[in-house]
Amino acid sequence: MPYFFKICLIGDFAVGKTSLARRFLYNEYQADYQATIGVNISKKEIHLTDPIPAQVTLVIWDLAGGEPFTPIVEAYYRGAAGALFVADITRPATVEHLSQYIEEFRLVNPDAEAVVLLNKVDLLSAHAVEAFDQETLREKLGTPIFLTSARTGYNVENAFLSLARRLLEKTNHA
């Protein structure tokens, strides 16, 4: 049985949402920053074996970053089964804003799944990554956290697949 899930990429501007989407969709990376307006919608079909064998189509809504929560943004969020909340690990303010994005998203989709991606991890030293307090952030946000790098591809697929598995599991339980 095929599954379709609308998922959103949400976060501040220039945190790498579009780069993450492109890495996941086409396994490519573009270094130049190109601002997104409105929403870019793309699809990717994946085959999961866990929790059940299934063909899943992720309809990925890559939203413009840093927009205030208006009825238009609410319209973009509507119908999403889950979201990837993205922050730039080198810009603390973008991490701080995550809780607000999650809260606004849950106002529209109370039961949606969420995962957090701390992107651009390649720009930090191994020591700085180790020193980053993931546990406290995880407790605060109540979501799984993935350290990712759209540039190197590190952990990008894992993050998307993790969300897809959670959505599939939830749908099956329902």
Partner 1 sequence: MPEDVLTIEMFCRLLQCVFLVGDENLTVVQATVPEWVGRPVEEVLPFLQGMEDILRDLAHRRIPTMHMPHVSADDLPHPLSGYVDVYMSPCSTRQGFIIVIRENAAAAHVIRELTQQRNELALLREQLEAANRRLRELDEERSFLIAMINHDIRAPLATITTGLSYLLEVEKESLSEEHRRILEMSLQAAQNATNLANRILQVERTHHLNQRHKLEPIDLIALLRSVLNQYRDMAEEQNISLFLETTHPEITDFPLIWGNWQSLREAFANLVENAIKYNVPGGEVRIAICPSEQGISVTIQDTGIGIALEDREQIFLPFHRGRRPRTERPGTGLGLYITRQVIKQHQGDIHIESELHKGTTIYIWLPLEPPETAEAKQGTKGSEHVCQDKRPIDWKTFQGYAEGG
Does residue 110 have a cis peptide bond before it, meaning omega lies within 30 degrees of 0?
Answer: no
Pairwise CA distance, residues 17 & 64, whole Å: 9
One of 10, 20, 81, 114 touching partner 1 (CB under 8 A) = 81
Cβ closest to partner 1, residue 80 vs residue 86: 80
Cβ closest to partner 1, residue 66 vs residue 153: 66
Binding segment toward partner 1, per CB under 8 A, in 65-73, 122-130, 134-142, 144-152: 65-73
Pairwise CA distance, residues 133 & 92, whole Å: 12
One of 48, 59, 124, 161 touching partner 1 (CB under 8 A) = 59
User: 114 forms bridges with which residues in the sheet?
Assistant: 83
One of 72, 107, 123, 128 touching partner 1 (CB under 8 A) = 72
Binding segment toward partner 1, per CB under 8 A, in 45-53, 73-81, 121-129, 146-154: 73-81
Nearest approach in angstroms of CB 139 to partner 1 is 27
In one-letter notation, the amino acid at residue 84 is: L
Over the range 35-59, which residues count as b (16 or more CB within 10 Å of their CB) and which as e?
A: ebeebbeeeeebebeeeeebebebb
Pairwise CA distance, residues 29 & 69, whole Å: 29
- Interface with partner 1 by CB under 8 A: which residues? 4-6, 13-14, 33-43, 57, 59, 64-66, 71-72, 75-76, 78-81, 91, 93
